Amino acid sequence: QQCIEKYLKALLISRLVDFPRTHDLAALGYLCKQSGIIFPIDDDALELLTAYAVETRYPGTQPTVEEAKEAVKLARIVRRFIKKNFN
C-alpha cells in the first residue's frame, strides 16, 4: 500500500496536481483519472489495498500469503506504469 501511495503521489506531483493528505489509494487514483492519467489498476483493487495502510501495521489482522502476493504484484504493475509515465 505504501509503495503504491508514494508512486501515485510522485506522479501527481510531477503533473502539478494538488492532493490532500491521505492514504486513500482510490482517492489518489481518482485524481489521476481527473488529470488524464489512465491508471492500470481498478478502483476495487485500490480500495482493497487502502485497507492495508493501517490494518497490517499492527498485530491481529494480517493478509494471507495470497493477498500479500497480490499486493506485491499490484505494486510492481504500478511501479512499471509510473516509470513509463513519469515526466
pLDDT (0 to 100) of residue 87? 59
> pLDDT tens across 16-55, in order?
999 999 999 999 999 999 998 888 888 888 888 888 777 6
Helix axes 43-55, 65-85, angle to 10 degrees: 120
Decide if 75 contacts 8 (C-beta within 8 A): no
pTM over 0.95: no
> pLDDT tens across 47-86, in order?
888 887 776 667 777 788 898 899 899 889 988 988 887 7
13 versus 61: the higher-pLDDT residue is 13
